[in-house]
Amino acid sequence: MTSDTVAQPHRIDLCGVRLDVRTDHAELADYLAAQFPAPDVARADEPDVAVTVRWTEGPRPDLRPERVFPDWPVDATIDRHVFTGGARILWLRVDDAAQIAVASERPARGPRRFELRFHFTLGATGWRESAKRLLAWRRVPALRRNRLSTLAYYAVYYPTWWHLEAQGLGHPLHAAGVALDGRAVVLAGLPGAGKSTLAMALVGAPGAELLADNVVLHDGRQVQGCFEPLLLDDRTRGWVGAQLALRPLGRRHVFARDAYHAAHRTGGVLPGAVVLVSRGRETRLDPVGAAECAHRLLAINEVAKEVRRYHVLAAILGMVEPEGLARVDERGERLERLLTGVPCYRLQVRHGAPDEAVAALRAALAPVRQVAR
């Protein structure tokens, strides 16, 4: 399962960022290889970001910098779990994912460096940890697998987003995205609001391309999808039809959703419409002002854990990259600029009646498609 050696790097191209990810955990290596297939042509060029992930197990670790990251010397303490030394920063107990520790450095030359240590524990110390493992031995493999999705965010998505955001090249939004005739329709809402169902219904239309199912990036002018496997239940998969080829990954997630690879459009597109999705007693589609829409999008980001966790990490990384922290301050301003002149709506979806919402959304987007053409 784990070994003392770190495997050869796995090259990942995500949102224009080249990452080399190494890990000593075979299960995580297989997970990443399935989620992010290597480029068709082997790449020997230097990556933008180099990530190493180490997996340890056992009782609660000793959270001292020299024990967690012995090869990352630091000389200043920012917090009891945050340490700095020059252009490097260590975070030994990450936010609400306390089993993860992160080290980061932006050297003067070469790729940005990240090292992650994931410590798998059942939360006990000494013999109690061993006893808990004996009692729960049937569940331990599943518990390990359940951590891989979170670890993939910290090992791949968050380093990519920070590399882009620190340069002012992209800011993440918790939203699905579909390109209709070359214009992006952004579907934002909290988990379970129905974004995936609506996105799959739009993708089923001629001239539509999938941008992303969960997170899109923007630079204040264009919208770009951030690749993730689609998580679809049986009903949502039926909306896709034959327009989108799906390749199952053999993984089942919460809410009886299976993971699929599907073609995503790469590169940025101009925004065509933004839709704030929620559930209610009746299906309603109402226009909303761009400023209010921007504020709600920012609020959704702080509630959805995928982006909220990233924002906390970005604030930590910004302590040693003040120029990157300055770019973070531009999130709201750039979002309002993105939405200037763009139709914005609030779509309330009646429970159990996605067809009504799809019909209302398609009618509202008809003028957008005409403009795009």
pLDDT tens for the 373 residues of the chain, in order? 344 456 689 999 999 999 999 999 999 999 999 999 877 666 668 999 999 999 998 777 889 999 999 999 999 999 889 999 989 999 999 988 889 999 999 998 999 999 999 998 766 566 566 666 666 656 667 778 888 999 999 999 999 999 999 999 999 999 999 999 889 999 999 887 888 888 888 887 778 899 998 999 999 999 999 999 888 877 777 767 666 788 888 887 776 778 888 888 888 999 999 999 999 899 999 999 999 999 999 999 999 999 999 999 999 999 999 889 888 889 999 999 999 999 999 999 888 777 888 888 888 888 765 555 5
Q: Beta partners for 20?
A: 11, 50
pLDDT (0 to 100) of residue 328: 87
DSSP state of 60: P
Say if CB 55 and CB 2 are below 8 A apart. Answer: yes
**Tokens for 266?**
């790469």
Residue 177 buriedness (CB in 10 A; 0-12 / 13-18 / 19+): buried
| Alpha-carbon gap, residue 333 to 350, rounded angstroms | 33
Place of tokens 């729960």: 136
DSSP state of 198: H
Give pTM, 2 decimals.
0.91
Neighbours of 101 (CB within 10 A): 25
Strands (DSSP E) found in 192-236? 208-212, 215-218, 223-225, 230-232
**Tokens for 229?**
């496997």
DSSP state of 93: S
Q: Which helix (H) or strand (E) holds 269?
A: none
Cite the residue boundaries of each domain of the chain with CATH code 3.90.228. Answer: 171-372
**Tokens for 178?**
């579909």
Give start and end residues of each alpha helix (H) in the chain: 26-35, 65-68, 127-135, 140-146, 148-152, 158-165, 195-203, 234-240, 290-303, 305-317, 322-328, 331-339, 354-372
The one-letter code for the residue type at 90 is: L
Q: What is the largest CA-CA distance in the chain?
A: 68
Can you state the percent helix, strand and coil of the chain, rounding each to 5?
A: 35, 30, 35
User: Pairing mode, if any, of strands 17-23 and 49-57?
Assistant: parallel
CATH fold of 171-372, please?
Phosphoenolpyruvate Carboxykinase; domain 3 (3.90.228)
Spatial CB neighbours of 30, under 8 Å, sequence gap ≥ 6? none
Place of tokens 């909306």: 239
Distances (CA, A) of 131 to 122, 128, 137: 10, 5, 10
pLDDT (0 to 100) of residue 23: 96
Dihedral of the CA atoms 197, 199, 205, 210 (nearest 10)? -140
Neighbours of 252 (CB within 10 A): 12
